[in-house]
Amino acid sequence: MRKPIIAGNWKLNKTVGESVSFTEELKTSICTMDENSLPEVVIAPVFTALVSVSEILSCDCIKLAAQNCYWEASGAFTGEVSVDILKDLGCSYIIIGHSERRQYFSETDEMINKKAKAILAADIIPIICCGETLEQREEGLTDSHIASQIKAALEGISKEDIARSVIAYEPIWAIGTGKTCDSIEANRVIKMIRNVVEEVSGKASADAIRILYGGSVKPSTIEEQMTQSDIDGALVGGASLKVSDFAGIIEGCIKAQTVCEA
């Protein structure tokens, strides 16, 4: 059984103070939920809020993620933050290869592979994002594009490390648009990603790796998404910025699990 993950990617939002009050409120809200059926809840604030948020995450029920990292450990790399520094702050996940980083900051598959290796070497979990543009989808290139992103990201990584990694399938046309990918189609692409993982790393890694869906996930969409066979959770942008929405998504995930187990 793969434990579901609900991860909130705050992107460039919230001051330190806002991040801290959000986290306090989220903790209170999660306390009322059934501990045994909680998914792994992950929040990814901006770099500058990581210390303060980490200090108040006394409970194990919320984990901390960074939105990016650099692959070198230290040196003359102005403006960058290393994996070890993020680990020291309490991050247990790091999001890499988000389409916004690929699009606005020219990140390549090769850079994402270097980041994934550095993260895994530090015993942290990478959340590796992939996804197609609308044009690629319309031209029938979705599967080949995503397969090549995944193969490049996982190049040279051991089976054990691949098994504990996380992938997020995020169709670019669904991010921040309110237009969610149909859950049957999202599940089909995620199954295809699992087959690619099996091809490069074997069945045990493919069975273990958690693959999330991202792109306009809301409290009203999560239940249907989580009842699909291969969707192991969600990477949430806009709806992770309000406690009531994010808590609603966590609750929907719990509900869907109960339905699946029944």
Residue nearest to ligand PGA (CB): 237
Residues known to be catalytic: 98, 170
Q: How far is the CB of 104 from ligand PGA (least distance, A)?
A: 12
**Residue carrying structure tokens 């998504």:** 249
Q: Are strands 210-214 and 166-169 parallel, antiparallel or unpaired?
A: parallel
* Closer by beta carbon to ligand PGA, 11 or else 117: 11
Which is closer to ligand PGA, CB of 167 or CB of 206?
Answer: 167
Instruction: Using DSSP, state whether 2 is helix, strand or coil.
Output: coil
Q: Which of 235, 164, 236, 157 shows the shortest CA–CA distance to 201?
A: 157
Whether the Cβ atoms of residue 186 and residue 231 lie closer than 8 Å to each other: yes
> Considering the complex, what minimum distance in angstroms separates the CB of residue 170 from ligand PGA?
6
Using the minimum distance from each CB to ligand PGA, give the nearer residue, 115 or 205.
115
CB of 20 to ligand PGA, least distance (A): 22
- Contact assessment for residue 145 and residue 136, using Cβ atoms and an 8 Å cutoff: yes
Minimum Å gap between C-beta 202 and ligand PGA is: 28
Alpha helices in the chain (DSSP H): 16-31, 50-56, 83-88, 99-104, 109-121, 134-138, 142-154, 159-163, 183-201, 203-208, 219-226, 243-261
> How many Å apart are CA 58 and CA 42, to the nearest integer?
14
Which residues in this chain contact ligand PGA in the complex, by CB under 6 A?
9, 170, 175-176, 214-217, 235-239
Nearest CB to ligand PGA, comparing residues 8 and 86: 8
